[in-house]
Amino acid sequence: MAARHLDGRIAIVTGASRGIGRAIAERFAAEGASVVVNYVAGSKAANAVVAGITSGGGTAVAIQADVSKRVSVDELIAATLARFGRIDILVNNAGVMITKPVLETSEDDWDLTIDINLKGAYLCSKAVAPVMIRQGAGTIINMSSNSGLYHPSAMKWTEYVVSKAGLNGLTKAMALALGPQIRINAICPGWIRTDMVEAIDPEVQQRILDETALHRWGTPGDIAASAVFLASDEASFITGELLIVAGGRGMH
C-alpha cells in the first residue's frame, strides 16, 4: 500500500456530522488518521460517519460538544486525550450561516454566528495549543470562506462575512503567536453543495456559477483534499496562509 499522508495522526474535526466536515473526517481516516467526529445536535449522523469509517478499517469516535461554549470545548479536548493520548490536527470546521439582510437580523443572529464561527475556533485552538506545544508539533486548519475575503458578490450576509474575516485574522495572528511548534492555516471555500447552501435562491445560485471560472459547484471532497494537504508534512513550511478553493470565483 502507498504511504498514507496522515498515518498515526490524531485529528479532531469539528462539525463533522455533515457536509464539508464529514468529508474531511472520512478523508483523514482514509489517510491513516484516527478521527474525532464532533457534532452538536446530529448524533445519528455523526454515529453514521463513525460507522462508515470503522467499517472501512479506520478509527473514529463521535464526541458531542458545542464549540461556542468553553466548558464544552474543554470536555471535547479532555475526552480526545483520554481516548487517544495526543492531538496532532484540529480542524475548526463547525459553522452556521444566517441568510437574512443585515437590517432584518437580530442581536441573537449576530451572537450565534460570531460565537460558533469565530469564538468557536478561538476556544478550540486555545484549548489544543498547550497540548500541541507540549508535543512539540501540531497543526490547525480553520474553515473560513470566500465570504471573508471581501469579494462583493460573496458579501451578502453581514454576520457571516464578519465571522469569516475575523477567522482569517485569527489564523494569521495565532500562526505568528504559536509558531514554531504549531502551523495554522485557513481554507476559504467557494460554493460547495451542502445543507448550508441548499436554501439559497436559484437565481443567486446561477449567478455564482456564472462567476466561477470552472463553472461548477465545489464538492466537500474538493475541500477535504486541500485539508489533507495542509494537515500533512507536504505543507510543513506553510503557515498563516489562506488557501482559496473556489474554482476561480472571486480571484484575488
Ligand X SMILES: NC(=O)c1ccc[n+]([C@@H]2O[C@H](COP(=O)([O-])OP(=O)(O)OC[C@H]3O[C@@H](n4cnc5c(N)ncnc54)[C@H](OP(=O)(O)O)[C@@H]3O)[C@@H](O)[C@H]2O)c1
> What is the binding site for ligand X (CB under 6 A)?
14-21, 38-42, 45, 66-68, 93-97, 116, 143, 145, 189, 191-192, 194-197
Cβ 8 to ligand X, closest distance in Å? Answer: 25
Length of the chain in terms of residues written = 252
SS3 content of the chain, % helix, strand, coil (to 5): 50, 15, 35
Cβ 181 to ligand X, closest distance in Å? Answer: 25
CA distance 12 to 180: 21
CA distance 1 to 11: 22
Output 179 or 248, the one with its CB closest to ligand X.
248
Task: Give one word for 61, left, alpha or beta, with left for phi > 0 and alpha for psi -120 to 50.
Answer: beta
Output 112 or 137, the one with its CB closest to ligand X.
112
Q: What beta strand segments (E) does the chain contain?
A: 10-13, 34-39, 59-64, 89-92, 138-143, 182-189, 242-245
Output 68 or 139, the one with its CB closest to ligand X.
68
DSSP 8-state class, residue 27:
H
Q: Which grid cell sits at 109?
A: 443572529
The answer to whether the CB of 84 falls within 8 A of the CB of 60 is no
Q: For cell 495565532, what's the residue?
A: 174
Output 21 or 58, the one with its CB closest to ligand X.
21
Cβ 61 to ligand X, closest distance in Å? Answer: 15
Active-site residue identified among 39, 122, 150, 160: 160
What's the distance, CA 142 to chain centroid? Answer: 5
Output 201 or 233, the one with its CB closest to ligand X.
201
Q: What beta strand segments (E) does 102-181 contain?
A: 138-143
Output 107 or 195, the one with its CB closest to ligand X.
195
The answer to whether the CB of 79 falls within 8 A of the CB of 23 is no
Strand, coil or helix: 243: strand
CA distance 250 to 152: 8
Cβ 162 to ligand X, closest distance in Å? Answer: 12
Catalytic residue flag (residue 39): no
For the annotated catalytic residues, the residue numbers are 160
